[in-house]
């Protein structure tokens, strides 16, 4: 048996500030060389996932997917759990059911694709591509030993032993599992066509190194073998991979890749997860609005160490080292469905801290890629939409009640504005990944810059951030932004900002008195401020090669500067 869930959670150490008196950054110099093209700008942020598959196709779920699809510069991969889990299709936090597999009285399998169609229709219809996580064990395939050994006491708060854990056992009949997998692939090809499905990814299970898999590693290897062959028999070009282990699953990952190498099995992508923290105590039971018993924050270094360790494992296997690496849960803290009423440390998910954290994390992932042969292709936020929550509950989601977009959404809007070519850019106040020691990243100013091959615009994303979500600084950091190598002529500058007072629906809601039953007028006021906002009016100026700007950054904050050459037209 593998380690249990509590053992895994113990690895999710939080960041507790060790030096609250650290000197804030007062000045920073950011330099961009618009003439130094570093190649294609990878886009690791272009994916999302969530537990609750049945919330994919609710009105709020559909709108969330469509909103992201509306601004995304490239289709996202979308990864929900539970496509094979049995159930009624009722969505619950951290639970869901695709309810595909059934057997008649004689034990003959048959399939119901009702929920699968609703799910993938919503994803594809919004312009995205599914990452199909093939899990978990349907009720009819639960082995008899699970029913005998799994401890369960009936409770009104849980449906049955199946929901409590039977789903995590290896299926009792691998041939029937193979038939289920093949039926889903065949159905999706018929419904969506090969031109669409060629972009899909097929992944076996989720976090088999902990209690999501109550079998042996060898049983998992056998199931992967069966699954790959079932998929490839239907679609020889399908991209199949795994094993989606936790940040502590390096040994399981190594064993999986070794087994695949020994059996000459394809691994078209390698997947694993990382989380920045597990606050302790994980959940608190106290008065509504009570402060956290200890102030804790996400840890960027923990995430970087786990990614680095997994990349090194992959590099032990030359046959798989060029496969795209997908960190298909890459999040600042667990769990997604708990919020500020469970532990006040989850407050960062509501405010400007989180979108700036995401920008910093994506930059550090790109930095890690430069040090490795194996490359992270996607770093998936396990954030989506939660039904039935209070306004700004603090769950890990893009939207809150009434579909109000949280500041996190604006980080992804900012990412979408970056061009397709990466430009050389440095900051004299950045923290390199080799310097990211300890349990928390100190305050820094860092940058990503790009050029668009479509219109030649130069886009610069830079931020001020520290892992300590409770850090305060009444003063701002003056950033001298030096952009070199621009063509001579007139340029228009757009300046967007995410901070406490910009692109921040949470602040607007708080200023209105934090209503839990906002009026239509209050909702209109909040939603009017939920998008990515301009910090200043657009300006135009003549440039002769170099441009110097001075921009103040509060803590935390993110600025997006877009420079576009003015095209002169003959009159």
- Separation CA 58–CA 96 (nearest Å): 13
| Nearest of 206, 194, 268, 263 to residue 234 by alpha carbon | 194
- Separation CA 133–CA 235 (nearest Å): 17
- Separation CA 359–CA 459 (nearest Å): 14
State whether the Cα torsion 292-557-308-374 is positive or negative.
Answer: positive
CA 427 to chain CA centroid, Å, is 26
What residues are paired with 327 via a beta bridge?
272, 379
Residue 156's CB is within 10 A of a number of other CB atoms, namely 5
Buried b or exposed e, range 165-177, using 16+ CB within 10 angstroms? bbbbbbbeebebb
- Separation CA 464–CA 471 (nearest Å): 12
- Separation CA 349–CA 384 (nearest Å): 12
CB 443 within 8 A of CB 555: yes
345 is written with which tokens?
A: 């440390």
Query: Which H or E run includes 423?
Result: strand 421-427
- Separation CA 70–CA 85 (nearest Å): 31
Contacts of 356 (CB under 8 A, 6+ apart): 411, 463, 464, 465, 498, 556, 557, 558
- Separation CA 381–CA 45 (nearest Å): 8
Buried b or exposed e, range 392-412, using 16+ CB within 10 angstroms? bbbbbbbbbbebbbbbbbbbb
Q: What is the DSSP letter of 81?
A: S
Query: Which H or E run includes 174?
Result: helix 174-192
Residue 199's CB is within 10 A of a number of other CB atoms, namely 15
Contacts of 314 (CB under 8 A, 6+ apart): 253, 257, 270, 320, 321, 323, 325, 374
Q: Let me know if 207 is a catalytic residue.
A: yes
SS3 of residue 126 by DSSP = coil
Contacts of 305 (CB under 8 A, 6+ apart): none
Among 52, 133, 203, 207, the one annotated catalytic: 207
Q: What are phi and psi of 34, to 5 degrees?
A: -70, -10
SS3 of residue 344 by DSSP = helix
SS3 of residue 102 by DSSP = strand
Buried b or exposed e, range 45-56, using 16+ CB within 10 angstroms? bbbbbbbbbbbb
Question: Catalytic site residues?
Answer: 207
């Amino acid at each position: 048996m593998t380690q249990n869930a509590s053992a895994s959670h113990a690895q999710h150490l939080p960041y507790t500030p060790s030096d609250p008196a650290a000197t804030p950054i007062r000045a920073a110099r950011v330099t961009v060389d618009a003439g130094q093209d570093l190649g294609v700008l990878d886009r690791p942020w272009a994916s999302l996932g969530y537990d609750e598959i049945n919330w994919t196709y609710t009105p709020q779920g559909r709108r969330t997917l469509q909103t992201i699809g509306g601004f995304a510069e490239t289709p996202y991969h979308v990864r929900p759990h539970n496509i094979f889990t049995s159930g009624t299709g009722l969505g619950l936090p951290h639970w869901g059911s695709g309810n595909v597999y059934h057997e008649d009285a004689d034990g003959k399998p048959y399939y119901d694709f009702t929920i699968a169609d609703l799910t993938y229709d919503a994803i594809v219809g919004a312009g995205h591509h599914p990452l199909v996580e093939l899990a978990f064990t349907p009720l009819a395939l639960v082995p008899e030993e699970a029913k005998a050994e799994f401890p369960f006491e009936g409770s009104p708060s849980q449906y049955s032993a199946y929901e409590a854990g039977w789903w995590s056992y290896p299926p009792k009949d691998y041939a029937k599992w193979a038939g289920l997998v093949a039926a889903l692939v065949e159905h999706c090809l018929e419904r969506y066509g090969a031109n669409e499905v060629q972009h899909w990814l097929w992944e076996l299970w989720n976090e088999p190194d902990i209690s999501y898999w109550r079998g042996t590693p060898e049983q998992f290897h056998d199931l992967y073998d069966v699954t790959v062959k079932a998929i490839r028999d239907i679609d020889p070009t399908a991209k199949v991979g795994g094993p989606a282990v936790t940040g502590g699953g390096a040994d399981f990952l190594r064993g999986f890749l070794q087994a695949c190498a020994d059996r000459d099995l394809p691994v078209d992508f390698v997947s694993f997860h990382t989380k920045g923290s597990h606050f302790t105590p994980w959940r608190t039971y106290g008065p509504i609005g009570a402060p956290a018993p200890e102030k804790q924050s996400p840890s960027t270094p923990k995430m970087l160490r786990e990614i680095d360790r997994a990349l090194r494992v992959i590099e032990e296997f030359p046959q798989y080292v060029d496969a795209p690496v997908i960190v298909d849960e890459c999040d600042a803290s667990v769990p997604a469905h708990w919020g500020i009423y469970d532990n006040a440390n989850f407050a960062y998910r509501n405010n400007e801290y989180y979108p700036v954290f995401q920008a910093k994390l994506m930059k550090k992932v790109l930095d890690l890629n430069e040090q490795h042969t194996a490359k992270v292709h996607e770093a998936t936020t396990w954030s989506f939409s939660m039904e039935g929550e209070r306004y700004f509950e603090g769950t890990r989601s893009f939207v809150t009640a009434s579909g109000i977009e949280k500041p996190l959404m604006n980080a992804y809007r900012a990412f979408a504005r970056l061009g397709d070519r990466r430009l050389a850019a440095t900051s004299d106040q950045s923290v390199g990944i080799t310097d990211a020691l300890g349990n928390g990243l100190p305050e820094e100013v860092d940058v990503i810059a790009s050029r668009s091959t479509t219109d030649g615009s130069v886009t610069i994303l830079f931020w001020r951030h520290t892992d300590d979500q409770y850090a305060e600084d009444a003063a701002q950091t003056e950033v001298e932004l030096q952009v070199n190598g621009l063509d001579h002529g007139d340029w228009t500058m757009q300046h967007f900002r995410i901070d406490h007072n910009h692109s921040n629906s949470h602040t607007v809601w708080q200023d209105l008195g934090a209503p839990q039953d906002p009026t239509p007028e209050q909702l209109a006021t909040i939603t009017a401020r939920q998008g990515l906002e301009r910090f200043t009016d657009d300006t135009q100026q003549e440039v002769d090669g170099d441009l110097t700007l001075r921009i103040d950054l509060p803590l935390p904050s993110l600025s997006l500067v877009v420079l576009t050459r003015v095209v002169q037209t003959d009159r």
